[in-house]
Amino acid sequence: MNNKSVLIAFLGNIHYDSRTSNLYKSLKQEGYNVKVLSFDWLTENVKTTKGEITVYKLHKGFLSLTYYLKFAVLMKYHLLFTKADFLFAEDIYTLPFVLAFGKLKKSKVFYDSRELFGYLAGLKKKKIVQQLLRWIEKICINKVDKIITTGEMDSQFLEKEYNVKNTIVIRNLPVFKIIDDPFDFRKHYQLKAETKILLYQGVILHGRGLRIIFDILKNSNNCVLIIIGGGELKNFYEQSAKEKGISDKVIFMGKVDQKDLFDYTADADVGLALIENISLSYYYALPNKMFEYILTGVPVLASNFPQMKQIIDRFEIGLYADPENMKDVSLALQQLLYDNDFIKRVKTNSKLAAKELNWDVEIKKLLAIM
């Protein structure tokens, strides 16, 4: 038991973010006094809750400026009255506030660069905002005590881009868990026994492979895509499915609490991680959903990008394909769905890989330097 304290700040809801949630729980288990400051503007019916884990409900209306001003005021208020040995900025948005108050109060500041924030796909058409984030990162990143990334290539990029050396890779891995009672999609949605379940879990955004999977579903009679997650583009993709005539083949489940997620994941036939090459951040992606599929023994279909390819080649837990090539994706899906010998081998490999690719092993690297 130690008497050191930690504040984790995150522009997102910790209850729907496995990385922040896992960090909080691990530090608590190690005896740290941990508090979380997080924000939610997407989830319906969420109310502000305060305590050891504080989640503020923000409203993002027509004027985004009001939303950001409220976020900034709340960040400053909490940091002003917080004294912690360690401050974690879980994204670029919280970084300048955490850094300023961290230096003022002589706290150690850790910056979780969970994405290459200066190259976010969602800001591709918002050049001014993208440049602003790069400017913020450039000013702040040399002043933090430790930079956390989700992959070796992310670390290499940041070290070269900002001439820094203090990076540590903590991949987006799930806590190890054995699934005893998986959810039954076929029973719940009254699907035929032979129906194949394709699963996408995560935030609903452009560039996540949904477009090409929708097109493949138009020509498939025995596949259903289940989408677990929410986001500002949920209505867009619901309308897209309707326009393509596949509404009966796409099920939007909405958000699922992290503690229940793997029970749903485990019943899928294929887990999708088809990130599209629309930004540098996406090209270097090593998404948590990929490791969640591995943990539950679900064969992975990922993009043929370097960091995802490394995992699939090393552990043989699925296939990768060019996310822009429908034929390439379709052929990979066929093998993952109908090649029984291959599927059996992948599931066996996944069980072995999960013993190494889990948060319980990964977090030891961070705990060793705190």
Residue range 48-60, pLDDT digits in tens: 999 999 999 998 7
**Bridge partners of residue 273, in order along the sequence:** 302
The answer to whether 34 and 5 are in contact (CB under 8 A) is: yes
Banded pLDDT at 245 (limits 50, 70, 90): very high
> Is it the case that residue 1 has pLDDT exceeding 70?
no
Banded pLDDT at 66 (limits 50, 70, 90): confident
Domains 5-175+359-367 and 185-354 share a fold: yes
State how far the Cα of 284 lies from the Cα of 196, in Å rounded to an integer. Answer: 30
Nearest Cα residue to 37 out of 52, 16, 59: 52
The answer to whether 292 and 261 are in contact (CB under 8 A) is: yes
Residue range 246-286, pLDDT digits in tens: 999 999 999 888 888 999 999 999 999 999 999 999 999 99
- Count of CA atoms in the C-beta half-sphere (13 A) of 30: 18
What does the pLDDT read at residue 62? Answer: 63
Does residue 257 sit in helix, strand or coil?
Answer: coil
**Bridge partners of residue 127, in order along the sequence:** none
Strands 196-201 and 167-169: unpaired
What does the pLDDT read at residue 122? Answer: 77
Q: Residue 231 has which token pair?
A: 């986001």
Q: What percent of the chain clears pLDDT 70, i.e. is strictly above it?
A: 99
Residue range 101-114, pLDDT digits in tens: 999 999 999 999 99
What does the pLDDT read at residue 331? Answer: 97
> Is it the case that residue 322 has pLDDT exceeding 90?
yes
Does residue 29 sit in helix, strand or coil?
Answer: helix
Does residue 197 sit in helix, strand or coil?
Answer: strand
State how far the Cα of 87 lies from the Cα of 105, in Å rounded to an integer. Answer: 10
| Kind and range of the H or E run holding 334 | helix 326-338
What does the pLDDT read at residue 124? Answer: 75
| E-only strand ranges, the chain | 5-10, 33-40, 53-57, 86-89, 108-113, 146-149, 167-169, 196-201, 223-228, 250-254, 270-273, 300-303, 318-321
> Is it the case that residue 19 has pLDDT exceeding 90?
yes
CATH number of 185-354: 3.40.50.2000
Query: Taken in order 138, 139, 145, 149, is the CA torsion positive or negative?
Result: negative
Instruction: Identify the CATH class of 5-175+359-367.
Output: alpha beta
Residue range 212-243, pLDDT digits in tens: 999 999 999 899 999 999 888 999 999 999 99
Domain spans in the chain, listed from the N-terminal domain onward: 5-175+359-367, 185-354
Nearest Cα residue to 308 out of 338, 271, 340, 345: 271
What is the rounded radius of gyration, in angstroms, for the C-alpha atoms of the chain? 21
